[in-house]
Amino acid sequence: MGTARDVYVATWTKELASLGVAAPKPPRTRIFSSPPTNPCIDLGETDAVEASFWCSKDGTVYVSAFAAKEWTKAYARAAKRRGVLASDAAKAGTSQAKLLAGYPLVGTTTELAHELGHWVQEVTGQYAWYEKRIASADFDVSNKAKATSELAADCMAGWVQGRTAVDGTWVDTGIGAWAHRATMAELGFDIDNVKAGFRFPPEKPADIIGYGSSYTRLKMYDVGDQAGRTGKPGLSTCTKAAATHMGSPLPPMP
């Protein structure tokens, strides 16, 4: 995990330098398996045990060890029930049994990459802009800001993983690609509707509350992955893609 963090942060730091954001303070990383003491999450919230999160108040990415053990397994079980795990395994170059055993460390890097997207938003001034709008009493303003921020971070996860794969700073394998997308799909909570090739029922932007479904989250992840692999910028590509998808205003750009 430390290596993935270092590689991803170094990749983003280089990208940010090209935008005039020099030497941002790297985030701290803390892996937890029980509710961590922190200034951002009310420990009464059940997802504090399960989900990774970025805490702007102490500059830390909290990475869930609990979720990492389960989410690629959950996707694989759903894919098997739907009769599409065999095609997944063939494309990944492995067996169905191995996919069913799960790839927690690879899945965790995808969660980490998403949360580092929020760190990038933080150091560029976007995060505070999103948070102000999320606090709005107008539900449409609040919801669009939340969804845009999260979908941009999904895209940025794809971007940094695609960029590091092309740069050769992180190992890129068929199994890795499967685990990244299995994690994103599970985070969208629609895995029981999966079809071969990580295809899901379309979701209208107007139906998104807070986070997108598996369809939307994978859509944004793949936008970022393609951008990273083809040398396109990460922050502007992903910010614009998410805002355009949600029909929301653009946050500030460096």
**Is the residue at 71 inside a domain?**
yes
- pLDDT per position as a tens digit, 115-170: 999 999 999 999 999 999 999 999 999 999 999 999 999 999 999 999 999 999 99
Adjacent-strand bridge partners of 137 = none
Q: What is the mean pLDDT of residues 220-233?
A: 98
Higher pLDDT, 166 or 70: 166
**Is the residue at 134 inside a domain?**
yes
Higher pLDDT, 24 or 162: 162
**Is the residue at 152 inside a domain?**
yes
Q: What is the mean pLDDT of residues 52-69?
A: 89
In this model, does residue 55 exceed pLDDT 60? yes
pLDDT value for 4: 93
Provide the token pair at 162.
């695609």
Asked which of 47-51, 56-60, 134-138, 240-244 is least confident by mean pLDDT, the reply is: 47-51
**Is the residue at 93 inside a domain?**
yes
**Is the residue at 154 inside a domain?**
yes
Higher pLDDT, 47 or 92: 92
pLDDT grade for 65, boundaries at 50, 70 and 90:
confident
Number of other residues whose CB lies within 10 A of the CB of residue 206: 8
The total number of structural domains that make up the chain = 1
Burial grade of 230 (CB within 10 A; 0-12, 13-18, 19 or more): exposed
Q: What average pLDDT does the structure give for the chain?
A: 93
Q: What is the mean pLDDT of residues 180-197?
A: 96
**Is the residue at 208 inside a domain?**
yes
Q: Which domain holds residue 88?
A: 11-20+67-246
**Is the residue at 73 inside a domain?**
yes
Number of other residues whose CB lies within 10 A of the CB of residue 25: 9
**Is the residue at 61 inside a domain?**
no
pTM for the model: 0.95
Provide the token pair at 218.
């994978």
Distance CA 246, CA 248 (A): 5
pLDDT value for 35: 77
Distance CA 232, CA 230 (A): 6
